[in-house]
Amino acid sequence: MTDTPALIVGLGNPGPDHDRDRHNVGYWLVEAIAGSGGARFGNEQKLHGELCQVSLSNQSVRLLKPTTFMNHSGQSIRATTDYYKIPVERVLVIHDDLDLPPGVARLKFGGGHGGHNGLRDTISHCGRDFLRLRIGIGHPGTREQVVGYVLRPPGRDELPKIEDALREGHRAIELLLQDGLAAAQKFLHTAAPDIDVTKDL
């Protein structure tokens, strides 16, 4: 594999009703990357998403926000990779993760969907072999509470931690482009809380 992404995808749900949902942290980070690069997203109906292009770590990278709603994210990702002829191995998907506490970010290549519907649909359209940046949002405690939890904003104590993780994730992406996956993982994973980073989610 080549671990330098050409397409960075932030998962989320479109529309103002979902702007601040925990489920939209992927959107938050690609929007921050676009803003730091002076780029603006434009709607691309044929790709079922909003797209822009930035220079990041001296490399040209496309940023994508699927507008298909979370459960159909893979439709937009596959349309974009097909249109620009981007190998799936050069796609980085940023998503919320219930199994990581707020404030923790993790970077990995490949794996399953761990119950995340955006990843589930992406895998169904593109296969498993893409990069993932997992942004921890914590777990509400029971399976029955999950839908309401991810579709609400983070609490006052959680939000600063998630924002810290997004900043670290942004820096990890820069390192990924500069120095490769191992360097980016080392940055994110070495000073982290004692959790299982090898779990295949």
Q: Are 37 and 63 in contact (CB under 8 A)?
A: no
119-123 contacts at long range (C-beta below 8 A, 24 or more positions apart): 119/11, 119/93, 119/95, 120/71, 121/71, 121/72, 121/73, 121/74, 121/75, 122/73, 122/74, 122/77, 122/93, 123/74
Residue type for 167, please?
R
73 SS3 class: helix
Residue 72 annotated as catalytic: no
Catalytic residue among 18, 23, 125, 170: 23
Q: Catalytic site residues?
A: 23
